[in-house]
Amino acid sequence: MRLKLITCDVLTRLVCHCVARTPHIVDIEFTPKGAHDDSDFLRNLIQQKIDECEGAKRKYDALLLGYGLCGNSVLNISARSIPMVIPRAHDCCTLFLGFREKYLEHFGNSPSMAFSAAGYIEREDSYIKEASKVKEKIGLDKTYQEYLEKYGEDNAKFIWETLHPDNKPWEKDNRLIFIEIPELRHLGYAEQCKKNALADKKEYVEIEGSMRLIEKLIFGDWSEEEFLIIQPKQRIMGVYDMQEIIRATT
């Protein structure tokens, strides 16, 4: 098959490692990590790149999207005449872990927990994944302390639990998780992340990730359980559960 992959540049090393081994011909196009700061911008950028494939000289059997929901950035993205394939994932954390079950195990109760991986250290000013600026635009970017100072303890807890039901700063989880991909261990980013975390007085936790989901995407192993195939004239809609996550609709 000839495939077109559109993906975030934090996945560059994983993607290139898999593309080098796949039997398929894969053309890659990366979007900058900073594009996630505005979900509307990233959505339009991805759709633009999809639409450009329609009139391209090369004909593709499928378009691969190397993203999760990513702050709703993929919602309403439409397939034109070429099928699209995307992992069932909330964000790139699942893609670094390689298993949706591992995401639920480590992040199911704390989906906003800070984490890092090789791509974030290489391609970010910060060594951790930072919250999207989308929250800032709609006024949901305040810290718990800011709500506390403005509204008092009871109101602050109510507001925060409404916005972040699984994250309670007054029961603070100070962990920083680094997802180490075995094939990238030689880069030494885990140790770099650990030093930064300890300097910031965070509890450093390292868990093993996997290229498995990215590999399956690029190798064309698209099970319905782990991938959504969007047929021509369909678009992506969110389900927001922990299993299906996204769905194709007309």
Summarised one tens digit per residue, pLDDT across range 201-244 is 889 999 999 999 999 999 999 999 999 999 999 999 998 888 89
Q: Are 85 and 222 in contact (CB under 8 A)?
A: yes
Ranges 41-50, 67-76, 132-141, 239-248, most confident: 41-50
Buried b (16+ CB within 10 A) or exposed e, 13-26: bbbebbbeeeeeeb
The number of beta carbons lying within 10 Å of the beta carbon of residue 159 is 17
Helical (H) or strand (E) element with 218 = helix 212-219
Query: 162: buried, middle or exposed (CB in 10 Å: 19+, 13-18, 0-12)?
Result: exposed
Q: Tokens 């602050």 map to which residue?
A: 156
Rounded CA separation 221/227 (Å)? 9
Q: pTM score, two decimals?
A: 0.82
Summarised one tens digit per residue, pLDDT across range 96-145 is 999 999 998 888 777 767 899 999 888 866 666 654 444 444 344 567 67
pLDDT given at position 80 = 93
* Residue predicted with more confidence, 247 or 166: 247
Ranges 8-12, 36-40, 238-242: which has the least confidence: 36-40
Percent of the chain with pLDDT over 70: 85
Q: 209 is written with which tokens?
A: 């990730």
pLDDT given at position 137 = 42
Ranges 47-56, 109-118, 150-159, 160-169, most confident: 47-56
- Domains of the chain with CATH codes: 2-90+211-249 (3.40.50), 100-208 (no CATH)
pLDDT given at position 95 = 96
Q: Which of 46, 15, 12, 33 is nearest to 129 (CA)?
A: 33
Q: 167 is written with which tokens?
A: 């994250």
Mean pLDDT calculated for residue range 35-62: 90
Strands 175-180 and 246-249: unpaired
Q: Are 89 and 213 in contact (CB under 8 A)?
A: yes
